[in-house]
Each structure stands twice: as structure tokens, then as C-alpha cells.
Amino acid sequence: MSNPPLHFLLLLLIPLASCTDANYYWREYTGKIPADAVVGGADINGENVYIGQAYVKNSGLIPAQINAGVKEVYAPIKGAQKVDRHIKILCGALEDFAWVPTNATNLHLELLNRQVVIGGHEDGYGSVIVGRISYEGGTQIGKINAFTVGNSHFRWVDIHKKEPGVTRYDVLVYQKRNE
């Protein structure tokens, strides 16, 4: 049986929104990759993939994968939602970021004392964080519902425009460089 007060306490301990000292930002995406865009991995052809954020009306601000030269993204919410405007791309110094491997059960414990990168929110639910997996030879960028303690699945849009979910994934964290 779950213990909601304990889950709530664990959720409060994770610095989900404490990015006041973070040196990264979300820039408007116009189809051109900015020089300071954060690379999230590579696709099956070895091309870089980037971390995007798409506004989906009546759903929220959802992390999504950006592929160079493509102006639209597919956001993993209520299936695959095609978005061709109101898209942002994560920018900053790549060396300030790290990917932390974890799973749905241990996510909140693994992230204690780490600063996760908030990818947006789902309307009526809460924050979603940026995640990735290696799938069919390439990196897939997507979302992790941080508001579901102990059952935080990673969701992305696959090549069939479906929204699968898995329980093992990497989480993007910000780690300020020593200056």
C-alpha cells in the first residue's frame, strides 16, 4: 500500500523548480538550431537531436525532440501531438548538463540534491522533466511526469507517432560548473 504523505514529502525534497542560479534558457525555435543549443544525443543516422519544449493547447508545455532542419515537433501527450509553432529549444553550455540514469521507482530518490531540468508542465497535474532513452539505434527525447511519485514513466513519440512509455531512462540535470 502506498503512503501519500511520504510521497508528498519526497516530492518536496527534490529541487524541481530551483533554477534561479541556472545558466540555461529556452529560446524560441524557428527551424534553425542555435549555436548554443543543448545536444540531447544522436539519431539513428548519427545526427544530433535537441531538447525542445512545445505548447499544446489545453494540455500544457511538453518536452519534445527537435531534429535539425525540421520545423515541427511531436509532443508526447494524449498520443502524439504535432506542433509547428510555440516551440522552444534548450540553450546553454553543454558541459553544465548531465544525464542521470534512473527508473520510475527510484526517480525521486536518485534526484535528491540534484537540480533537474524542468521541461514544462501538464495542465492540472504538475511539472514534467526532461528525459531520454536509447531506442532503435537512436536517442529519443521526451517527458517524465515528476508529479507521479513511484510511478514516473518516460514518454516519447516513436516513429509510428505513438506515445509509448518505459520505466528505465535518463534524466537531464543541471550542474553548475566550478568557476
Number of domains in the chain: 1
| Within a domain: 131 | yes
CA 102 remoteness from chain centre: 14
| Within a domain: 110 | yes
- Cα–Cα dist 171/22, whole Å: 16
pLDDT in tens, 106-162: 998 888 899 999 999 999 999 999 999 999 999 999 999 988 777 889 999 998 899
**pLDDT category of residue 25 using cuts at 50, 70 and 90:** very high
| Within a domain: 179 | no
| Within a domain: 141 | yes
| Within a domain: 92 | yes
pLDDT in tens, 60-98: 999 999 999 999 999 999 999 999 999 999 999 999 999
The residue segments making up the domain with residue 31 are 4-174
